[in-house]
DNA sequence: TGAGTTTTCGCCTTACAATCGAAAACGTGA
DNA sequence: TCACGTTTTCGATTGTAAGGCGAAAACTCA
């Protein structure tokens, strides 16, 4: 038996949260589980996870999906042996999808400390998803999947701080992402807050597909034409991990 | 049905090569396939791929194994629907494992151009493995899995050049890896070549387990104690991708 | 108009990769 | 034995990018 599981993450109330549903029946009744389900006969795993997610949230609100890892310990679940392919899904913070009654958002930091208790091996899966998100926020333009279409630098700073779990300098964020060509100024400005202050410039992400922005400078080809063997293929541009 | 597939890579004759076996029976008879096979009932996918690999090469020669990706297109193989979990395996260049008669090493650059022809979707799987190796060579100490226990900088340079597919500066390689604490001088020197020259210093890798050495400087915590939410767990040190 | 607030910009420091050149250590051949 | 070529290693320099700090800009409210 093969199942797919989705770790859907969103920054809500200044905190990184994960979508879980409360199991009503045994085994593990009362514990919280990741959305997902059985892989269908005529779909691949990515199609399957998007289909199953549609039962929990509006799929159009999921801005990015990628494969995480296979969990296959024989005893990871009671009953028939089940292999799980885990996915990471990201929802922009402006979306507020309607969720079924048994489903709710929970802060990731709490879940990783057992609050609330998770079913089966779903806790480690959430940890892996959070680690992947943190890493990719640093060397890709993945922020687009957490941010609204347009935003201010300080708004984006709060998103990054929540997702990364540490302070982020707005000055640096602006400069680093601008130099990499990730951020583009729209020209507009946002209304200042109630206590005044200079109006913030409005930005958007240049692209809304994931792209590696930090080409691991260490061992970069010294000259584009000095590569040996075959040339770089388009598929090589964004390694899945 | 679930199968595991291994992309076993090694630098041989100055070139990155992959271990393939020639299919003798239909379907796809005569084409070259990745080693692997059916997932057993009482093993997880990593155990399974190591077990199946033991039939092709001596497992003790595989210095590093990691999960790549799940391939699950319903029509990826004829017959019963089969989901494949692909793995990357690395063999040090000094090893020369005995392989069965139907099995042989092939240069990755040729395989990616259809020489020799590969079975099913194994071509794209090899491409994914090569891309993963190239990326991780740059920001981890993964070189230990391709190199002999002891080596000279110029020897290591050739390995990196073969795996990465572009020229690598020996001077920079030495300094970058030394500063990161990846390389350690043994104190010994290698015998000079037939045309003389200064004897090269002998180095080894400080660790033989994969470790991320470039902590994505961009959005690093400004101070270790300023992280919000939970602290970093040991499991967070080496994200699997 | 002045005080307070928030954002933005410029300068400085630090870290690291890449390049260049010199010095060190060896073999070969005159 | 001594000059020469070869190969490796080390030091100095340059360029790029990130992080930190503070000043200036732009707004609200009293």
- Give pLDDT, residue A154: 92
- Percent of chain B exceeding pLDDT 90 equals 62
SS3 content of chain B, % helix, strand, coil (to 5): 30, 25, 45
- Give pLDDT, residue B187: 84
Contact between B193 and B119 under an 8 Å Cβ cutoff? The reply is: no
The answer to whether the Cβ–Cβ distance between A69 and B67 falls below 8 Å is: yes
**CA–CA distance from B132 to each of A64, A136, A220, B104 (Å)?**
20, 15, 15, 22
**CA–CA distance from B144 to each of A130, B62, B93 (Å)?**
28, 11, 10
Strand partners, A183: A205
Q: Report the predicted TM-score, pTM, of the whole model to 2 decimal places.
A: 0.89
pLDDT at A92 over 60: yes
pLDDT at B164 over 70: yes
Give chain B's mean pLDDT.
Answer: 86
- Percent of chain B exceeding pLDDT 70 equals 88
- Give pLDDT, residue B215: 54
The answer to whether the Cβ–Cβ distance between B72 and A127 falls below 8 Å is: no
Taking the CA of residue A55 and the nearest CA in chain B, the distance in Å comes to: 22
Give chain A's mean pLDDT.
Answer: 87
The pLDDT of A128-141, averaged and rounded, is 91
- Give pLDDT, residue A215: 56
> Is the C-beta atom of A221 closer than 7 angstroms to strand C?
no
- Give pLDDT, residue B226: 37
The Cα A18–Cα A7 span in angstroms is 7
- Give pLDDT, residue A238: 34
Closest of A211, A236, A212 to residue B165, by C-alpha:
A236
Q: Which nucleotide has the least CA–C1' distance to B153?
A: D8
Q: Which nucleotide has the least CA–C1' distance to A152?
A: C7
Write the DSSP assignment of A118-172 as a string of letters. B-TTHHHHHHHHHHHHHHHHHHBSGGGGTS-SSEEHHHHHHHHHHHHTS---HHH
- Give pLDDT, residue A219: 47
pLDDT at A144 over 90: yes
Contact between B49 and B201 under an 8 Å Cβ cutoff? The reply is: no
Which of the four pLDDT bands, split at 50, 70 and 90, describes residue B223?
very low
- Give pLDDT, residue B171: 86
The pLDDT of A74-103, averaged and rounded, is 95
The pLDDT of A5-26, averaged and rounded, is 96
B109 in A contact zone (CB under 8 Å): yes
The pLDDT of A68-78, averaged and rounded, is 97
List b or e across A58-92, with b for residues whose CB sees 16 or more CB atoms inside 10 angstroms. ebebbbbbbbbbbbbbeebbeeebbbbbbbbbbbb
Structure-block tokens of residue B16? 């990155």
Closest of B210, B190, B187, B133 to residue B165, by C-alpha:
B133
B234 in A contact zone (CB under 8 Å): no
- By mean pLDDT, which of B69-78, B92-101, B120-129 is the weakest? B92-101
Which residues of chain A have a CB within 8 Å of the CB of B219?
137-138, 160, 164, 166, 168, 173
- Give pLDDT, residue B239: 36
> Is the C-beta atom of A233 closer than 7 angstroms to strand D?
no
Which of the four pLDDT bands, split at 50, 70 and 90, describes residue B57?
confident
Q: Between A90 and B225, whose confidence is greater? A: A90
Q: Which nucleotides of C are covered by protein (CB under 7 A)?
A: 3-10, 16-21, 23-28
- Give pLDDT, residue B90: 97
The pLDDT of B207-216, averaged and rounded, is 78
- By mean pLDDT, which of A78-92, B128-142, B190-204 is the weakest? B190-204
- By mean pLDDT, which of A30-39, A81-90, A128-137, A213-222 is the weakest? A213-222
- Give pLDDT, residue B218: 42
- Give pLDDT, residue B189: 83
> Is the C-beta atom of B198 closer than 7 angstroms to strand D?
yes
The pLDDT of B216-236, averaged and rounded, is 41
The answer to whether the Cβ–Cβ distance between A73 and B214 falls below 8 Å is: no
Contact between B68 and B133 under an 8 Å Cβ cutoff? The reply is: no
pLDDT at B36 over 60: yes
CA of A176 to C1' of C11 (A): 17
Which residues of chain B have a CB within 8 Å of the CB of A115?
none
Could you read off the pLDDT of A149-183 as tens digits, one per residue?
999 999 999 999 999 888 888 998 998 898 888 99
> Is the C-beta atom of A167 closer than 7 angstroms to strand C?
no
Give the start-end residues of each E strand in chain B.
Answer: 2-12, 15-22, 32-33, 36-38, 64-71, 83-90, 103-107, 151-152, 183-189, 201-205
- Give pLDDT, residue A150: 95
């Amino acid at each position: 038996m093969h199942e797919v599981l989705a770790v859907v993450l969103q920054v809500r109330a200044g905190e990184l949260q994960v979508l879980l549903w409360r199991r009503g029946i045994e085994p593990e009744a009362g514990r919280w589980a990741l959305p997902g389900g059985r892989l269908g006969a005529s779909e691949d795993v990515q199609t399957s996870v998007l289909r199953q997610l549609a039962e929990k949230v509006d799929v159009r609100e999921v801005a990015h999906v990628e494969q995480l890892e296979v969990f296959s310990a024989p005893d990871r679940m009671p009953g028939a042996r089940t292999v799980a392919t885990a996915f990471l899904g990201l929802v922009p913070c402006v979306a507020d999808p309607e969720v079924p009654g048994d489903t709710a958002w929970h802060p990731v930091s709490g879940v990783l400390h057992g609050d609330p208790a998770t079913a089966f091996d779903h806790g480690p899966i959430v940890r892996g998803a959070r680690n992947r998100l943190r890493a990719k926020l640093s060397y890709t333009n993945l922020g687009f999947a957490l941010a609204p279409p347009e935003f201010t630098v300080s708004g984006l700073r709060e998103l990054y701080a929540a997702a990364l779990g540490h302070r982020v300098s707005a000055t640096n964020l602006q400069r680093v992402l601008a130099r990499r060509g990730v951020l583009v100024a729209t020209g507009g400005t946002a209304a200042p807050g109630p206590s005044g202050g200079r109006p913030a410039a409005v930005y958007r992400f240049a692209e809304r597909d994931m792209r590696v922005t930090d080409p691991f400078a260490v061992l970069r080809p010294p000259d584009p034409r000095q590569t040996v063997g075959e040339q770089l293929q388009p598929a090589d541009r964004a390694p899945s991990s």
